[in-house]
């Protein structure tokens, strides 16, 4: 399911206009992105938690040449599924 399909599904269930649903969904995603980029967590109880995680520097290999390369440390977004979400998927 892509974003457009998600908007249509929510609009159908809520009987709201697709334009309104798209705006709300866009603002929700934007808020989660801004909050996580500031190093804070966003927890949606039962669904999951969005957070920033630090990845340590490490060495890797170029798959074409086999040469050793250094991979820099960086911060990446992460999502941990909540208990209810895990249970629904496991069924």
pLDDT on residue 6: 97
Q: Which helix (H) or strand (E) holds 77?
A: strand 74-81
Examine the pLDDT at 42 and tell me if it is beyond 90.
yes
Nearest alpha-carbon partner for 18 in 1, 2, 4: 4
The pTM assigned to this predicted structure is: 0.82
- What are the sequence ranges of the domains in the chain? 1-38, 41-91
Residues 28/42, Cβ–Cβ less than 8 Å: no
Residues 36/52, Cβ–Cβ less than 8 Å: yes
Segment 24-34 mean pLDDT: 97
Enter the DSSP assignment of 57.
-
- Per-residue model confidence as pLDDT tens digits over 54-86: 999 999 999 999 999 999 999 999 999 999 999
Task: Please give the CATH topology (third level) of the domain spanning 41-91.
Answer: HU Protein; Chain A (4.10.520)
Segment 9-34 mean pLDDT: 97
């Amino acid at each position: 399911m892509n974003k457009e399909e998600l908007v249509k599904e929510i609009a159908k269930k809520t009987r709201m206009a697709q334009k309104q649903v798209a705006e709300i969904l866009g603002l929700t995603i934007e808020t989660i992105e801004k909050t996580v980029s500031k190093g804070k967590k966003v927890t949606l109880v039962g669904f999951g938690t969005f957070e920033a995680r630090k990845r340590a520097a490490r060495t890797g290999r170029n798959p074409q040449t086999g040469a050793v390369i250094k991979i820099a440390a960086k911060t990446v977004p992460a999502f941990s599924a909540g208990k209810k979400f895990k249970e629904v998927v496991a069924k």
